[in-house]
Amino acid sequence: MDTLEALRRRIEGARDLQSVVKTMKALAAVSIRHYERAANSLDEYNRVVELGLHIVLHNRPEGSSIVAEGANERLGAVVFGSDQGMCGQFNERLVDFAVDRMNGMQVRRQHRSILALGLRVTGQLTEARQPIERTFAMPSSITGMTEAVHELLQHVEYWQSQQQIDQIV
In terms of DSSP H, where are the helices of 59-114?
Answer: 90-104
- Region 49-65 average pLDDT: 69
Cβ atoms of 152 and 116 closer than 8 Å? no
Instruction: Give the pLDDT score at 55.
Output: 79
**135 vs 65: which has the higher pLDDT:** 135
Residue-wise over 48-81: b if at least 16 C-beta within 10 A, else e?
eeeeeeeeeeeeeeeeeeeeeeeeeebbbbbbeb
Q: pLDDT band at 106, cuts 50/70/90?
A: confident
pLDDT class for 66, splitting at 50, 70, 90?
Answer: low
Closest CA to 127 of 86, 94, 95, 83: 95
Q: 117: buried, middle or exposed (CB in 10 Å: 19+, 13-18, 0-12)?
A: buried
Q: Please name the helix (run of DSSP H) or strand (run of DSSP E) that holds residue 134, with its range, or none.
A: strand 132-136
End-to-end CA distance of the chain: 70
- Rounded mean pLDDT of 80-106? 84
| Predicted confidence (pLDDT) at residue 150 exceeds the cutoff of 50 | yes
Alpha carbons 84 and 87: distance in angstroms, whole number: 7
Q: Is the pLDDT of residue 120 over 90?
A: no
Looking at residue 70, its pLDDT comes to 47
- Please give the mean pLDDT across all residues of the chain: 83
